[in-house]
Amino acid sequence: MKKLGIGILAALVSASVLAAGVWREGVYYAKGVRVQYHGQMYEALQGHEATKGANWNPEAVASLWRKIDWQEQAPGNGSWREGMNYSKGQLTSYRGRMYRCLQSHKAEKGAGWSPDRAPSLWEKLDEKPYPQPR
């Protein structure tokens, strides 16, 4: 029973790493996994292996990938909130703008670390047509 729990936990951690990662050849992508490719987020429409040399990248194969718009990418309905933990690369919205977290941190209550006031923690994305993956 304990081994099963550890296996499930490992699978969840692996899936979350792939979901936030950059697309690569030779990797198996389960349905629903999200990746970044050329600054754009995509979601796998079906499970598949990105066979090396097959050119099954998200831009080239619409039957395998769906382009995700910025509003869908933001976690927690896209709303930045004090008291939340944010991971490097995580996307959020604040006052109608999209931001990417530049360094992992907790948005301490009262610290004034909102995305519009803390440029060392947040990169504004909506002014760039295709933000580059980090």
Could you report the per-residue pLDDT of 23-52, keeping only the tens digit for each? 889 999 988 888 878 777 888 899 999 999
Q: How many residues does the chain have?
A: 134
Q: Does residue 132 lie in a domain region?
A: no
Instruction: Tell me: pLDDT of 70 over 90.
Output: no
User: How far is residue 74's CA from residue 83's CA, in Å, rounded to a whole number?
Assistant: 17
Q: Does residue 24 lie in a domain region?
A: yes
- Domain containing residue 40: CATH number: 2.10.10.20
Closest alpha carbon to 112 in 103, 122, 102, 104: 122
Looking at the 3D structure of the chain, how many domains does it have?
Answer: 2
Confidence of residue 2 (pLDDT cuts 50, 70, 90): low
Closest alpha carbon to 92 in 81, 105, 109, 79: 79
Q: What confidence tens digit (pLDDT) does each residue in 91-113 have? A: 888 887 888 889 989 999 999 99
Q: Which domain holds residue 116?
A: 73-124
- The structure tokens listed for 7 are 């296996």
As a whole number, the mean pLDDT across the chain is 76
Check whether residue 13 and residue 61 sit in a common domain: yes
pLDDT confidence of residue 10:
38
> What's the whole-model pTM score?
0.45
Mean of the pLDDT values across residues 123-127? 76
- Maximum CA pair distance of the chain? 51
Mean of the pLDDT values across residues 14-27? 63
Q: Does residue 133 lie in a domain region?
A: no
- The structure tokens listed for 61 are 């194969």
Higher pLDDT, 78 or 93: 93
Q: Any idea what the Cα angle at residue 80 is, between residues 90 and 16, rounded to 5°?
A: 30
Rounded to the nearest 10 degrees, how much is the dihedral formed by the CA atoms of 95, 22, 41, 32? -110
Check whether residue 17 and residue 39 sit in a common domain: yes
Check whether residue 59 and residue 17 sit in a common domain: yes
